[in-house]
Every structure is written in C-alpha cells, then in structure tokens.
Copies of this chain bind each other. A is one copy, B any other.
Amino acid sequence: MTTPSLLILPGDGIGPEVMAEVRKIIDWMGAKRGLDFDVSEDLVGGAAYDKHGTPLHDDTMAKAQEVDAVLLGAVGGPKYDVLDFSVKPERGLLRLRKEMDLYANLRPAQCFDALSDFSSLKQEVVAGLDIMIIRELTSGVYFGEPRGIHKEGNERVGINTQRYTESEIARVARSAFEMARKRGNKVCSMEKANVMESGILWRDVVQEIHDAEYPDVELSHMYADAGAMQLTRWPKQFDVIVTDNLFGDLLSDLAAMLTGSLGMLPSASLGAPMANGRPKALYEPVHGSAPDIAGQGKANPIACILSFAMALRYSFDLGDEATRVERAVEQVLADGLRTADLMGPEGGVPVSTSGMGDAIVAAL
C-alpha cells in the first residue's frame, strides 16, 4: 500500500496555530504507530491572496484533487473585508468544495461530558447530545446561476438562485441514510416545502430514495424554521438531519452552539470515491479563523485535531486510531485541562494552544 497523502492548508487567523498541534498528532502516529503520511502544506484564503492575489492558487487546487485528504484550518479576517467578492478568502474554500465535488458535509454536534455545563442551554437538554447534520455542500443558492447585482432603472437589484437537481438531492440523501444506519437509524430531512418549489423537490426525492433503497431507516420531514425551533427546544429528538447548503449552514451552526463548545467541533466534507476507493475529502474545524485571538496561543486546537480524527476514520479506514485520538481528547478534558474558550465558572487547569496539543499527545 502506498503512503496515504495529506494536504494541509492552515489558512488564516488561528488556522496555522491549531494546525501546528495536529502536526504533533501526525508525527506521533508515525513514530508510535508506524502510520506514515505523505504530508504537504500550502496556502488558502487570505494567506493565499497575500502571496498570489487569489484565495486559492490553481496549483493548490490541482494538488487538492490528487491527495487522499485535505485538512484545512480556517479562512478569513477583517483585513480582507475590503476585497472584491471574487477574491475574498471564503472563495478559496468554496472553490475547493465545488471543484472537489464534496457534496456531503458531515457536521457532528456532540456534547462532551466534561463540558455539558458549558452550553447556554440547560444541562439536561444537552448532556449526552450526539447528532449528525449532513449538509449538502456543492449546490443550492451558494452556486446557482444567475447571480449578481445589476441595475434596473434607477436601482440596484441583487439576485441569487436556489437550484437543486434530483441527482444532487439523491446522493446526499443516500449519505444521510448510510450514516443513520451506522447510528440511531433515524433521518429528519429539513426544507421549506411550504414555500419553495426546490423544497418540494427536496422532500419528494428524499422520500423516494428512502422508499426505494432505505425503507428500514426511520424518515421524517420538517420545515426548516420548525427545525430551528426543535433543535433549540429538545435537540436529542434528532439522530441524523439532512438539509440543503444554506439551511445547513445556519442549522449546523446552531446545533454546534447548542453544545456550548465550538472549539471542539470537527467536520468532514466528502465527495465521490476516487480510483483508490477513498472518497474525495476535506476536513476542517467548525470554528472560524478568530482573528481577535490569533497568534496569542489562546486558540483551542481540539476541533482541528478531531477533524484529523475524522480523516483517520473516513479517508484512511483507521477507525480505531480515530477513536484513540478521541479518547485522548476526552482524557485531557476529564483531567481538567482547559484552553481559554473552555474556561467556565468551575475553572480548570489553564493551558495554551500548544499545551493542549502536548497534553493530547501525552494522553495518546
């Protein structure tokens, strides 16, 4: 077997800091478990713009298409707010998603025992929470045409297009049903079929795929506004949620915030299988680039480390090693180690970004 390849794109803000800690885990895997990765590194987002005048260089794009998995830190920052839409840091990330065709964004919202009092929600509402949001990531209003701002008479008009094809819905529905079979066997699909025709098609296709291929999985449908409410009221009613790109953006962030610890949450974006059978894949923490704390050793590297754990599981078939990393994270939390964002009223042992990384390596 050839050495699995990994492209690391630290990006902006706290991206490079948290990625440095992931490097320690990767090194440990090589030294102690004999698992070597062919790691390369490149620029994305504002960092790429600063060097190349584009948030993603074509060479980087080409490399991303070739490797077994991409691991991304975060993109964006106030410095780039003035840039034109077409070269904003986010465009680099969106291009990766689109050209790698990463249609299934897996966003677990999991509440860690040691942190269950950390949420703004009551402890009994979130303790033990473990849901998986599968967000469609390559279509919908993010990419639909026509789009843009133009003049009509005296005034400007802004347009975007929500567009979904049957096959786009079908493939992400399959991802959700497959995931549900490995978990609680329940899928809730969310749209606004009461208002949008694209939502009607979404609902119909999800139901058809269910009836034809996954009749054993329990399927329900919910309007996205009701979904936002129900996630807030009693999130444990859900197992897997499947929804479109834009609703998924809001609902997965909402779900993430329910856990109270954004610095803990990883994500995986998966596409179709490549020639070697592995899916195209990009892994990234749910949190953003947090420019306000960048470079101060305050960032929590756990979300990025757990994103690497997801890579071990979904790209490299190393579920046991992924579990090992996840256990190590739980261990250091149980030991009371806390980066600044995790420092609640009960206190804990304050650690820096690298202190947290070192502790996780030690716990491995």
Contact = CB atoms under 8 A, between A and B. Distances in A.
B148 A197 contact: yes
A258 B229 CA distance: 8
B250 A194 contact: no
A232 B246 contact: no
Q: Which of A196, A232, A258 has the most CB of B within 10 A?
A: A232
A228 B199 CA distance: 21
Nearest to A248: B225
A250 to B, nearest CB: 5
A226 interface: yes
Interface string A239-262: 000000011011101101110001
A165 interface: yes
How many identical subunits does the complex contain?
A: 2
A192 to B, nearest CB: 7
A233 B224 CA distance: 20
Interface in A139-182: 141-142, 144, 147-149, 152, 155-167
Contact of A159 (B198, B226, B247): B198
Given A121-B122, A141-B162, A149-B200, A256 B229 contact: yes
B201 A228 contact: no
Contacts of A205: 156
A222 to B, nearest CB: 12
Interface in A174-224: 192, 194-202, 205, 224
A125 interface: yes
Determine the interface band of chain A, counting residues with CB < 8 A from chain B: 35 or more
A258 B195 CA distance: 24
Given A162-B159, A165-B155, A233-B120, A195 B250 contact: no
Interface of A: 76, 85, 88, 90, 94, 120-122, 125, 141-142, 144, 147-149, 152, 155-167, 192, 194-202, 205, 224-226, 228-229, 232-234, 246-247, 249-251, 253-254, 256-258, 262
20 contacts: A85-B197, A90-B194, A120-B122, A120-B233, A121-B232, A141-B195, A158-B162, A158-B165, A158-B196, A158-B200, A158-B201, A159-B163, A161-B161, A192-B246, A192-B249, A225-B249, A225-B253, A229-B256, A232-B258, A247-B250
